[in-house]
Amino acid sequence: MPLRLTSLGFRTKPQLWDLGRPACDHVKHFAKRSGCTPCPAGRVFLWKDHMTDKTHRSVFDRKTEITEEQKKWKPATQRVRGGLYRSQFGETSEALYLTSGYVYQSAEEAEARFKGEDDGFIYSRFSNPTVKMFEDRMCLLEGAPAARATATGMAAVTASLLCQLQHGDHVVAARALFGSCRFVVETLLPRFGIESTLVDGRDVSAWEQAMRPNTKVLFLETPSNPTLEIIDLRAVADLAHRHEARLVVDNVFATPILQRPMEFGADVVVYSATKHVDGQGRCLGGIVLADEAFVNDHLANFLRQTGPALSPFNAWVLTKSIESLDLRVRQMCRNAEIVAEALAGHKKLSRVDYPGRPDHPQHNLAMAQMDMGGSVVTFEIEGGKAAAFRVCNALTLVDISNNLGDAKSLITHPATTTHQRIPEDERLKMGITPGLVRISVGLEDPEDISEDLFRALDAA
């Protein structure tokens, strides 16, 4: 006799499944499981475990909010279980929802979704269950009320600015920024009639002097890329708020493991999740974190209409990577400390910069804002570009790559890679000299990393 079974709660009328048909063996197996009883529940699928008498909830709507219990967990627990929503199949790992769209229970429900009266998913350009798990887990790490993921870190930066700005507005930004961020601030925003001013981010008075009545956003990264300048987050945030502006912080070098800018007053935090969050060179991703008002009033619709969506697969990879983020970042930092100490005083280096070292000009501020000194070390090689190239080319363990935050140690020459489009005079103002190189210290043994660098320096 056919069994009446509602398919995943997505159809108003139950479907008849003939369990005598070979093609329905999978349905027969599901129906005969003694531990589960499916029941239709609108857009959410519920099932009851008769052994524990608990009713479980699957993740088929947008309103899969972080629970109060999750907020009380210690950070280590949040990194492993935060934002976890299991489907009716009870999978151990976070589920990967490779779907572009979603089925509605009725035409009325579809209408309600598009009107915003129903919190279910609509289309994966707008939201996706796997992406939502990544967003929720990052919220817990950052201490942020809300977040939206993007396809890349630069998509996150661009969206965080453009979603809240319009013609006639003004932005003040630190001059020590990643090259693509400088492009957005100096070139892209002015195309839309948004003026910008660059300042020495270390000088709070310079921020104050640059403020105008139409200043809406202050933008910075700390530590900066690649010169590792440290900016006083609390001072700049207070200044922004006195002028009724928002502070947007690119926290990619510090990660939420070492520094959480919202604790110092930042309004919006952005990441390239491609870096430490993935940490293994596998995929691209970005995220914007802020309060509910900013996300709902500015960011969400901008992302919905412009489409820089994070793929569910990349979101799944990033979500799984967060489980080991603390372990990786802290070990990278310990390795970076050893490498920086080993390089200090080398006869072929005119300077070594690392925020965790007492000789860094802003060491005290760095340690007041960060738990450790970070995974990046920069040093200047005497002899300029030619000498820097010889050192990079002589390395046998450390790879030449412009990425950072990876398990593998990576080195790059900023003046000819990440910041090569910035005019030379501006690069020099930022401290990016022809001999400067940046190494993102990985998870190899720090003695092996140091020995590779010494061999390369000797060969050059």
Three-state SS annotation for 189-216: HHHCCCEEEEECCCCHHHHHHHCCCCEE
Q: Look-up: residue for tokens 């947008």?
A: 62
CB 269 within 8 A of CB 249: yes
Tell me how many degrees the CA angle 172-174-177 measures, rounded to the nearest 5: 125
- How far apart are the C-alpha atoms of 325 and 278, rounded to whole Å? 8
Give me 390's structure tokens: 């010889």
Q: What pLDDT does residue 85 have?
A: 83
Name the E strands within 251-337: 268-272, 286-290
| DSSP H or E segment with residue 349 | strand 349-353
Which position has the token pair 């209408």?
Answer: 111
Please say whether the beta carbons of 174 and 220 come within 8 A: yes
Domain 326-459 = CATH 3.90.1150.10: yes
Give Cα separations from 175 to 16, 126, 136, 308, 402 (angstroms).
Answer: 65, 33, 32, 26, 20
Report the alpha-carbon distance of residue 207 to residue 399 in Å, rounded: 38
Say if CB 170 and CB 193 are below 8 A apart. Answer: no
Q: Is 22 exposed, middle or buried (0-12, 13-18, 19+ CB in 10 A)?
A: exposed
Give the pLDDT score at 25.
Answer: 53
Are 55 and 47 in contact by the 8 Å Cβ rule? The answer is yes
Write down the H helix ranges in 10-93.
25-32, 68-72, 75-81
- Outline where 307-383 has alpha helix (H): 312-322, 325-343, 363-369
Task: Return the H-helix or E-strand segment holding 387.
Answer: helix 384-394
From the CB of residue 57, how many other CB atoms can be counted at a distance below 10 Å? 16
Q: Please tell me what DSSP assigns to residue 329.
A: H
Which residue type does 426 have? E
Pairing type for strands 46-49 and 36-39 reads antiparallel
Grouping H, G, I as helix, E, B as strand and the rest as coil, residue 459 is helix
> Which CA distances in Å does 272 have to 4, 54, 295, 310?
48, 39, 18, 12
Distance CA 417, CA 47 (A): 54
Torsion sign, CA atoms 149, 292, 107, 9:
positive
Q: Indicate the helix (H) or strand (E) that contains 379.
A: strand 376-381
Q: What is the DSSP letter of 372?
A: S
Which residue type occupies 226? P
CATH 3.90.1150.10 range(s) for the chain read 326-459
Write down the pLDDT at residue 47: 42
Burial class of residue 269 in the structure, from the number of CB atoms within 10 Å of its CB (0-12 exposed, 13-18 middle, 19+ buried): buried
Asked whether the beta carbons of 398 and 293 are under 8 A apart, the reply is no
Q: Are strands 215-221 and 246-250 parallel, antiparallel or unpaired?
A: parallel
For residues 374 and 356, the answer to whether their CB atoms sit within 8 Å is yes
The token duo for 273 is 């999740």
Do the Cβ atoms of 411 and 390 come closer than 8 Å?
no
Task: CATH 3.40.640.10 in the chain: give the residue spans.
Answer: 107-324
CATH classification for the domain delimited by 107-324, as one of 3.40.630.30, 3.20.20.70, 3.30.230.10, 3.40.640.10: 3.40.640.10
Cα pseudo-dihedral 293, 294, 298, 300, rounded to 10: -80
pLDDT at 119 (0 to 100): 84
At a CB cut-off of 8 Å and minimum separation 6, what does 89 contact?
Answer: none
The structure's pTM equals: 0.86
Per-residue pLDDT of the chain (460 residues), as tens digits, is: 444 333 333 333 434 444 444 544 544 444 444 444 433 333 344 444 444 454 444 444 444 678 888 998 998 999 999 988 888 889 999 999 999 999 999 999 999 999 989 888 999 999 999 999 999 999 999 999 999 999 999 999 999 999 999 999 999 999 999 999 999 999 999 999 999 999 999 999 999 999 999 999 999 999 999 999 999 999 999 999 999 999 999 999 999 999 999 999 999 999 999 999 999 999 999 999 999 999 999 999 999 999 999 999 999 999 999 999 999 999 999 999 999 999 998 999 999 999 999 999 999 999 999 999 999 999 999 999 999 999 999 999 999 999 999 999 999 999 999 999 999 999 998 999 999 999 999 999 999 999 999 999 998 8
